Chains A and B, each alone.
Chain A
């Protein structure tokens, strides 16, 4: 119950009208490890990472252990997810050779989806992807794949096509090339990671603030009496944001996968 502990410190429900989390920066700091094996610290985030991995593996295993002609309800959901990533995202964006990248895209899609949905899971209440290391690592994988594919498919003409674009008038080529170079090799991985991270941090903070405030005002009804009604709009607003965050969690997983596919596509067919 991280959320409530964060909001509970230094909140005077008799004077304040909203309980803001005491130390927001704590979200970005390295938490005390639960236990360590050698140089590896095991924190809550590490456990949640493994939990997300096992959930994805178990879902895929139980859905496709015995493939049937007419799958059950769970099988239909998983099959439509797999078909969506393979046909719409991978083949739809990259083209016919996209099915080669479908396993990677499916892995990151399901992992990010489960990690994002932890935000809304009772008693976990913590989006895995709101730790910069996780979106950072995933975006590093995408970066290595699209740069690797670009060089292995097109050789050095991949790099040359970026820093010396033929379709631009010669006087401006160096400028456009410079912008394109920075955008391809620095801004792409950075924004890919920051987009996912910041969306989930924003959602987590908003839920903490609203639901935590509502809960604290309700909980202190014995001390402050009728002032506890202030908690009602916060709680109602928090529930509305809760539904909205569900959409954001699914959408951000989709966008991360889609952008990975788009970046790979620009390396496979650099002329477009």
Chain B
């Protein structure tokens, strides 16, 4: 039973990483586009990008913590 539990936790973490992976890609991609189009607004775009990454990443990290708890 112990082995099965470990395997399920691994699959759970893998599933939890899919969404944030796509999300961070979208956030960073659009931030780069914004910086390329308006280099003078790069500082604002960069700060907002980090905020967006932080919020998106939280889901994957909660999955990572649950992997240890489960």
Show the binding face of A for B, using Cβ within 8 Å. 24-25, 28, 88, 92-93, 191, 194-195, 197-199, 201-202, 251, 254-255, 258-259, 262
Contacts and interface: CB of A to CB of B under 8 A. Distances in A.
Contact of A262 (B51, B61, B64, B65): B51
B54 A92 contact: no
B58 A191 contact: yes
Contact of B47 (A25, A195, A258): A258
Nearest to B58: A191
Contacts of B53: 255
Interface in B34-70: 47, 50-51, 53-54, 57-58, 61-62, 64-65, 68
A23 B11 CA distance: 20
Contact of B61 (A88, A92, A194): A194
Given A194-B58, A194-B61, A195-B61, A28 B68 contact: yes
Interface string B4-31: 0000000000000000000000000000
Interface of B: 47, 50-51, 53-54, 57-58, 61-62, 64-65, 68
A198 B57 CA distance: 10
> What is the interface of chain B mostly: helix, strand, loop, or mixed?
helix
A195 B54 contact: yes
Contacts, number: 39
Contact of A198 (B47, B50, B54, B61): B61
A191 B53 CA distance: 13
Contacts of B62: 191, 194, 198
Contacts of B57: 195
B51 A198 contact: no
Contacts of A259: 51, 54
Contacts of A198: 61-62, 64-65
A24 B54 CA distance: 26
Contacts of B47: 88, 92-93, 258
A32 B51 CA distance: 38
A201 B13 CA distance: 15
Nearest to A259: B54
Contacts of B51: 255, 258-259, 262
B62 to A, nearest CB: 6
24 contacts: A24-B68, A25-B68, A93-B47, A191-B58, A194-B58, A194-B61, A194-B65, A195-B54, A195-B58, A195-B61, A197-B65, A198-B61, A198-B62, A199-B61, A201-B65, A202-B61, A202-B64, A254-B50, A255-B50, A255-B53, A255-B54, A258-B50, A259-B51, A262-B51
